[in-house]
Amino acid sequence: MAKALAFVVSALFFFALAHAKKESIFQVQGKVYCDTCRVQFETKVSEPISGAQVKLECKDTRTEKITLTVEGVTNESGNYTLQVKGDHELDICEVSVVKSPREDCSEAIDEKTEVVCTNNSGMHTEVRYANPLGFMKKEADSKCKEVLDQLGFLGNTE
Ligand SMILES: *[C@@H]1O[C@H](CO)[C@@H](O)[C@H](O)[C@H]1NC(C)=O
Ligand SMILES: *[C@@H]1O[C@H](CO)[C@@H](O)[C@H](O)[C@H]1NC(C)=O
Ligand SMILES: *[C@@H]1O[C@H](CO)[C@@H](O)[C@H](O)[C@H]1NC(C)=O
pLDDT tens sequence across 65-79: 999 999 999 999 999
Give pLDDT, residue 91. Answer: 96
- Which residue's CA is the closest to the ligand 3 atom numbered 9? 24
Helix, strand, coil percentages for the chain (3-state, nearest 5): 20, 40, 45
Of residues 152 and 18, more confidence is placed in: 152
Q: How far apart are CA 128 and CA 142, in angstroms?
A: 36
Q: How far apart are CA 146 and CA 140, in angstroms?
A: 12
CA 76 / ligand 1 centre spacing (Å): 10
Our answer on whether the CB atom of 29 is closer than 6 Å to any ligand 2 atom is: yes
The percent of residues in the chain predicted with pLDDT above 90, rounded, is: 72
pLDDT tens sequence across 33-61: 999 999 999 999 999 999 999 999 999 99
Collapsed DSSP state (helix, strand, coil) of residue 120 = coil
Q: Mention every residue, 6+ apart, whose C-beta is less than 8 A from residue 148.
A: 37, 39, 43, 154
CA 32 / ligand 3 centre spacing (Å): 25
Give pLDDT, residue 52. Answer: 97
Confidence of residue 149 (pLDDT cuts 50, 70, 90): confident
